[in-house]
C-alpha cells in the first residue's frame, strides 16, 4: 500500500500567474476562484459535487497534464473523436512522488464508447498482435453492456502499481456492481495503486480513510461521507421516503 512518501502524485496547483481572465471558462468556475493547492490521499481521493461544478474539468486537466488522452485510455492511446477539452491542463502544476507508476488509465464514462471503438479499430490492423482487447478480457467492449464493459476494464485492465483516474465510473453500474467495484479498488490499493475519482455515488465514496473533496461555490472543501449532500439525501429518502415524496410530488 502506498503512503505519503511513495504515492505517485502528491498534489496539484494552479499557475495563477498565467491566467489572464477569470471571466472565461474554465477559470470562471467558482472552485478555481481563490484556488489553493490540492493534496492527494496516497490511496483514494474523491472529487464530488453538483453537475456543472467542475469535477470532470478538474479530472480531465489532471489526466491530460499527466499525458493521458483527453477522451480516456492509457498514455499510449492517441485519438480524438471531438476536441472539446479545456485549456486547464496548461495552467496546472502537478507534484509527483519519488516512485513512478508502472501503468495507468484515465476512465471517462461519457467517452468510454470512443475508447472501445478505438480499441476495435486498432485490433483490426494486422500490426497489432496480440490484440489489445486481450488486456480487457478478450471480448470486444462493444459486445457487452455498458456496465459489463466498464467492469471488465476495472477487473482486467487495472492491475498493480497503477495510477487510475476515474470520472463517474458508477454511471453504468448497478448498486451491487458498485459494491463490487469498491472491493476491486481495495484489492488494487493493497497492490500499490492510487485512485483519483469523481463520483455521485455514496457507495463508491465509502472507501475507508479516503479523502473526499466537495466542490462548492466556496471552493474545494474536505468532507466526511456522512456530511455530504449525496449521503444525506439518500439517507433522508430511505429513512422517510413517504414524507420526502409527499413534499416533492405535491
pLDDT surpasses 90 at 160:
yes
Residue ranges per domain, the chain?
9-249
pLDDT surpasses 70 at 128:
no
Provide the pLDDT for residue 243: 87
- Least confident residue range of 41-45, 66-70, 79-83, 240-244: 79-83
CA distance linking residue 147 with residue 40, whole number of Å: 28
List the Cα angle 10/62/195 in 5-degree steps.
Answer: 60
- Tens-place pLDDT, residues 33-43: 878 899 999 99
Specify whether the CB–CB gap between 74 and 24 falls below 8 A: no
What predicted TM-score, i.e. pTM, was given to this entire model? 0.92
- Tens-place pLDDT, residues 70-111: 999 999 888 776 666 778 888 899 999 999 999 999 999 988
Specify whether the CB–CB gap between 62 and 14 falls below 8 A: no
pLDDT surpasses 90 at 126:
no
CATH code of the domain occupying 9-249: 3.40.50
CA separation, residue 74 to residues 19, 115, 166, 204, 219 (Å): 29, 10, 12, 23, 30
pLDDT surpasses 90 at 62:
yes
Amino acid at each position: 500500500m502506498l503512503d505519503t512518501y511513495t504515492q505517485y502524485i502528491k498534489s496539484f496547483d494552479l499557475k495563477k500567474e498565467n491566467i489572464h481572465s477569470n471571466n472565461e471558462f474554465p477559470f470562471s468556475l467558482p472552485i478555481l476562484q481563490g484556488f489553493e493547492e490540492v493534496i492527494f490521499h496516497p490511496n483514494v481521493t474523491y472529487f464530488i459535487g453538483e453537475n456543472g461544478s467542475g469535477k470532470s474539468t478538474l479530472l480531465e486537466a489532471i489526466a491530460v497534464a499527466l499525458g493521458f488522452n483527453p477522451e480516456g485510455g492509457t498514455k499510449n492511446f492517441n485519438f480524438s473523436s471531438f476536441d472539446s477539452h479545456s485549456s486547464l491542463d496548461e495552467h496546472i502544476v502537478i507534484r509527483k512522488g519519488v516512485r513512478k507508476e508502472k501503468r495507468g488509465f484515465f476512465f471517462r464514462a461519457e467517452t468510454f464508447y470512443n475508447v472501445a471503438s478505438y480499441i476495435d479499430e486498432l485490433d483490426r490492423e494486422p500490426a497489432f498482435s496480440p490484440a489489445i482487447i486481450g488486456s480487457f478480457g478478450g471480448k470486444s467492449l462493444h459486445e457487452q453492456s455498458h456496465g459489463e464493459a466498464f467492469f471488465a476494464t476495472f477487473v482486467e485492465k487495472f492491475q498493480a502499481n497503477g495510477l487510475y483516474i476515474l470520472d463517474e465510473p458508477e454511471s453504468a453500474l448497478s448498486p451491487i456492481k458498485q459494491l463490487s467495484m469498491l472491493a476491486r479498488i481495495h484489492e488494487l490499493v493493497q497492490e500499490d495503486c492510487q485512485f483519483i475519482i469523481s463520483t455521485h455515488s455514496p457507495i463508491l465514496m465509502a472507501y475507508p480513510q479516503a479523502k473526499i473533496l466537495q466542490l462548492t461555490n466556496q471552493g474545494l472543501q474536505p468532507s466526511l461521507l456522512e456530511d455530504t449532500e449525496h449521503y444525506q439525501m439518500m439517507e433522508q429518502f430511505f429513512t422517510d421516503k413517504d414524507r420526502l415524496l409527499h413534499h416533492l410530488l405535491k
